[in-house]
Homo-oligomer: A and B are copies of this chain.
Amino acid sequence: MAQGKYPEALLREVREIFRAYMRRKNLRQTPERFAVLEEVYASEGHFDADELFLRLRQKGASVSRATVYNTLELLRECNLVARHQFGRNQAKYEPSYGYRQHDHLICLDCGQVWEFCDPRLQDVQQLVEEVYNFEVTHHSLELYGHCRRENCPNRSTAL
């Protein structure tokens, strides 16, 4: 999740990418869309659409839930946001520009999410592409289980 050293520079970059994308697609550059983008990049870690909506509301921005969902979708299309489906719950989002690709480790007891990378996944993906004559655009890998942290709610269970 490590945010870059120069958040205002990052913000300028992503704003420009978004602007270019909207120009190219003939979409309107509304203040609401930029407000969503900024709130996304002000985020630490994962968040869901409603959290983002509430945060925007608290700051006085007048964006509707519908616009939040709509804009998150646009940001996903230009790869500024990634969406993850952990279990059956609501989708989680995260800023994705300038972050290296990673997968997720989820504790079933405390719900905490960690990130990890493993280059071997690239190899797996490549082999599958060849064997199945398939073009892989993205993947989703989550490992579920039990963390062993002191403060994890279920730590004491024998299992």
Contact = CB atoms under 8 A, between A and B. Distances in A.
Nearest to A89: B85
Given A91-B88, A141-B139, A134 B146 contact: yes
Contacts of A124: 118, 120-121
B120 A147 contact: no
Interface string A60-88: 00000000000000000000000001011
A105 interface: yes
A134 B145 contact: yes
Contact of A142 (B87, B140, B147): B140
Nearest to A90: B88
Nearest to A118: B124
Contacts of A20: none
For this chain, the copies found in one complex come to: 2
Contacts of A141: 139-142
Given A105-B136, A114-B134, A121-B124, 20 more contacts: A85-B85, A85-B87, A85-B88, A105-B128, A105-B134, A114-B132, A116-B128, A118-B124, A120-B120, A128-B143, A133-B147, A134-B143, A135-B146, A136-B144, A136-B145, A139-B142, A139-B143, A140-B142, A141-B141, A141-B142
Interface of A: 85, 87-88, 91, 105, 107-108, 114, 116, 118, 120-121, 123-125, 127-129, 131-148
